[in-house]
Amino acid sequence: MLEWGSITKTVTAALALRLEAAGALCRTDAVVTHLPESGLPASVTVSSLIAHTSGLPRVPAGIDDVFDPYAKYTTEAFDRDVVPTLGQQRQQPKPLPEYSNLGYAVLTRVLETAGGGSWWQLASEHVLKPLGLDDVAVDPPQERRPVVRGWNGEPRVPWTMHTGPFVGAGGLWGTFDALERCAPALVRKTADAGSPGWQVQGAVRWHNGHVRDSGAFVAVRPDAERVVTVHTLGRRAGTADRVARRITTR
């Protein structure tokens, strides 16, 4: 199994649509109605979190562990230490979207609160299983994880994201085949709503993801039924994007 990184956000956005269809929330809901302790203004809605237009910064204030930056943000710690500070951390949104992992962690907590379950339970039930995607996980067994070693030969430990709300921002693992099947299925399922959660470039819907030692990139062109999928291990951030760019220009 491979880390998908921020491509997980496309699953989280699709989950928001599914919970809306089930009547659990509306994308126009103010976040503060689901997380009253956040102190966020009513203009910060579920849709603004999905679209990266909430004004929340990329990561929480006080993030300080370069080796495992999200490990300390368990759900309990996030609700206690981060949620009450969101109103102070938020800045006035700029005209263009500003990418925010924090925004998707907040969205994850909104979905968990509205849906009455963990992100993994809800995403499995409402998004992944209906798409026939079984070979995915948020905490796969060690024998199914690739081993990346440092210069000293010691295995490098991947980021911990499954224990708190940053799981919905970048915590999904799955086989390469599952990643390649998931992307076009999600794009098709969410096309009527404008493919929320995806980056849009002309007719192409794409997203990338980078964690400690993995990079991923997937692009879908629905009109041509074409998918480009790249995953890298032990490479610098951005390598998957550059490889995908070479493929798509052939």
Q: Where are the domains of the chain?
A: 2-142+162-248
Say how far apart CA 33 and CA 35 lie, in whole Å: 6
Residue 232 host element (H or E): strand 226-233
Residue 163 is given by DSSP the state T
Non-local CB neighbours of 205 within 8 Å, separated by 6+ positions: 187, 195, 198, 199, 219, 220, 221, 222
Report the 10 Å Cβ neighbour count for 239: 16
Pairing mode of beta strands 2-3, 136-137: unpaired
User: Tell me: the pLDDT tens digits for 3-43?
Assistant: 999 999 999 999 999 999 999 999 999 999 999 999 999 99
Give me the CATH topology for the region 2-142+162-248. Answer: Beta-lactamase (3.40.710)
Residue 131 has pLDDT above 90, yes or no: yes
DSSP 171-227: --EE-HHHHHHHHHHHHHHHGGGT-TTSEEETTEEEEEEE-SSEEEEEEEEGGGTEE
Residue 84 is given by DSSP the state G
User: Tell me: the pLDDT tens digits for 90-120?
Assistant: 999 999 999 999 999 999 999 999 999 999 9
- State which amino acid sits at residue 119: W
Nearest to 46 by CA among 94, 115, 95: 115
Residue 163 has what pLDDT?
98
At 213, list the tokens.
């030692």
Q: Please state whether the predicted TM-score (pTM) of the whole model is above 0.85.
A: yes
Average the pLDDT over 164-182 and give the result.
97
Nearest to 56 by CA among 47, 68, 65, 44: 44
Give the rounded percent of residues in the chain with a pLDDT score beyond 70. Answer: 100
Q: Are 48 and 54 in contact (CB under 8 A)?
A: yes
Residue 198 has what pLDDT?
97
Residue 224 — pLDDT band, cuts 50, 70, 90? Answer: confident
Non-local CB neighbours of 45 within 8 Å, separated by 6+ positions: 27, 28, 29, 30, 31, 54
